[in-house]
């Protein structure tokens, strides 16, 4: 452990963690960040120096948009040299989307970026916010020989630290709101904070930290279902400026073999639209060619999302489209693990 106290930047974007009940309507809404810190005097006992920065207008994360991802990336970029770690307070609803996108935007990240939030506001007697916030700060402060132990974007919630781009919000009721079904937990907080070193992302720290902000939103996401009609499918592909479509298929990447379905995909691939196959299952992977129902997809050039989450598939797609790379490089990159998001 380093002898000097790490500098941590706390970035507040909004979410339940900092909300209060509106007197009139009873609905939860964001409130002033300074008040949030007053609610947790314990923070002053931590072995680190904490600075804070807040979105001018904190948001409920259901209003999240890539323009806010860029805002978070900007804050991290501007403060990268002066801080040892970053903790981002974010609503849980879209936390996995934001944290996944940031993992692609922050290339060669050599410091921890820990996303956290809570299911109950910090002022609530039964709140889960204090533990989530305090342990996230501790995780971001972990050092060995003066260097951060964690060098990736992660998500801490209810005693578990996950690789962010492997997470999904799975529960709107339980304090354990997130799961990472295709990758082991990075750490677990019990009596001791147990870090699973073998699962941590090991970036090439000699490479320069680069922040990517060109994100292309001209994409669509289709979840197939038994009975999906040709009309619905065709109308999505007629969206102007569409560049890529993620299709959530069944099981190991299977879909209907109906001729119209394959024909529409084939036609759009030939027009230069990227089609990505990901699975509706929370765990497991797309394996095109394993069943006859996916062989044709592979043959016509559909890209395999492998075991990527929907949240990471979206961030990776917007990021790669923004890179303006050749069609071939796009497919190779999408099917390659860039930030530990696929196996
Ligand atoms: N609606 C809230 C949000 O995502 C829920 C939460 O923070 O847990 O901002």
Ligand 1 atom 7 nearest Cα: 91
Mutate to test the pocket of ligand 1, among 21, 91, 98, 158 (most ligand atoms within 8 A of CB): 91
Structure letter (DSSP) for residue 220: E
Q: What's the pLDDT at 291?
A: 85
**Element (DSSP H or E) covering residue 75:** helix 66-79
Residue nearest to atom 3 of ligand 1 (CA): 91
Q: Whose CA is nearest to atom 8 of ligand 1?
A: 92
CA distance 307 to 304: 9
Residue holding tokens 């071939």?
328
The pLDDT score that the predictor gives to residue 201 is 98
Q: Are 161 and 187 in contact (CB under 8 A)?
A: yes
List, in sequence order, every residue forming a beta bridge with 49; answer none if it has no partner: 7
Give the whole-angstrom CA distance, residue 97 versus residue 72: 13
Q: What is the whole-number distance in angstroms between the Cα of residue 13 and the centre of ligand 1?
A: 11
Q: What is the pLDDT of residue 35?
A: 66
In ligand 1, the atom with minimum distance to the C-alpha of 177 is 8
pLDDT recorded at residue 1: 42
The per-residue pLDDT for 77 is 98
Distance from the CA of 28 to the center of ligand 1, in angstroms?
9
Q: Closest ligand 1 atom to the C-alpha of 62?
A: 4
User: Could you give the residue numbers annotated as active site?
Assistant: 16
- Residue written as token pair 């996950």: 162
Residue of 13, 15, 28, 30 best suited for mutating to test ligand 1, as the one with most atoms within 8 Å of CB? 15
pLDDT by position in tens, the chain (length 343): 445 799 999 999 999 888 877 778 888 877 667 766 777 888 888 999 999 999 999 999 999 999 999 999 999 999 999 999 999 999 999 999 999 999 999 999 999 999 999 999 988 889 999 999 999 999 999 999 999 999 999 999 999 999 999 999 999 999 999 999 999 999 999 999 999 999 999 999 899 999 999 999 999 999 999 999 999 999 999 999 999 999 999 999 999 999 999 999 999 999 999 999 999 999 999 999 888 888 999 999 999 999 999 999 999 999 999 999 999 999 999 999 999 999 9
Q: Is 127 in the pocket of ligand 1 (CB under 6 A)?
A: no
Nearest atom, ligand 1, residue 94 CA = 4
18 within ligand 1 shell (Cβ under 6 A): no
Question: Does 305 contact ligand 1 (Cβ within 6 A)?
Answer: no
- 35 within ligand 1 shell (Cβ under 6 A): no
| Residue 127 CA, ligand 1 centroid: distance in Å | 14
* C-alpha to C-alpha distances, 334 to 246, 282, 330, nearest whole angstrom: 12, 19, 6
Q: State how far the Cα of 133 lies from the Cα of 284, in Å rounded to an integer.
A: 31
Q: How far apart are CA 48 and CA 122, in angstroms?
A: 21
């Amino acid at each position: 452990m380093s002898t000097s106290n790490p500098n941590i930047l706390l970035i507040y974007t909004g979410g339940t963690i900092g909300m209060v009940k509106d007197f009139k309507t009873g609905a939860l809404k964001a409130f002033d960040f300074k008040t949030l810190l007053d609610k947790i005097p314990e923070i002053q006992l931590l072995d680190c120096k904490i600075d804070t920065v807040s979105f001018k207008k904190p948001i409920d994360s259901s209003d999240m948009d890539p323009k806010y991802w860029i805002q978070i990336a900007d804050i991290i970029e501007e403060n990268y040299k002066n801080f040892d770690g970053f903790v981002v307070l974010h609503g849980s609803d879209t936390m996995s989307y934001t944290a996944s996108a940031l993992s692609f935007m922050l290339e060669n990240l050599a410091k921890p970026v820990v996303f956290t939030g809570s299911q109950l506001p910090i002022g609530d007697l039964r709140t889960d916010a204090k533990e989530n916030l305090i342990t996230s700060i501790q995780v971001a402060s972990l050092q060995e020989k003066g260097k951060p132990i964690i060098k990736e974007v992660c998500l801490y919630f209810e005693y578990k630290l996950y690789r962010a781009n492997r997470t999904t919000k799975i529960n709107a009721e339980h304090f354990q709101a997130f799961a990472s079904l295709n990758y082991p937990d990075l750490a677990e907080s019990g009596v001791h904070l147990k870090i699973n070193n073998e699962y941590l992302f090991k970036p090439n720290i000699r490479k320069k930290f680069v922040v990517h902000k060109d994100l292309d939103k001209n994409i669509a996401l289709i979840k197939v279902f038994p009975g999906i009609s040709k009309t619905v499918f065709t109308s999505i592909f007629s969206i102007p400026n569409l560049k890529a479509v993620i299709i959530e298929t069944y099981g190991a990447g299977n879909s209907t073999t109906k001729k119209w379905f394959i024909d529409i995909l084939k036609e759009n691939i030939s027009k230069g639209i990227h089609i990505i196959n990901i699975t509706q299952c929370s765990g497991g992977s797309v394996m095109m060619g394993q069943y006859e129902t996916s062989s044709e997809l592979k043959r016509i050039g559909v890209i395999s999302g492998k075991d990527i989450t929907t949240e990471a598939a979206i961030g990776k797609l917007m990021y790669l489209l923004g890179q303006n790379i050749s069609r071939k490089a796009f497919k190779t990159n999408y099917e390659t693990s860039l930030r530990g998001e696929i196996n």
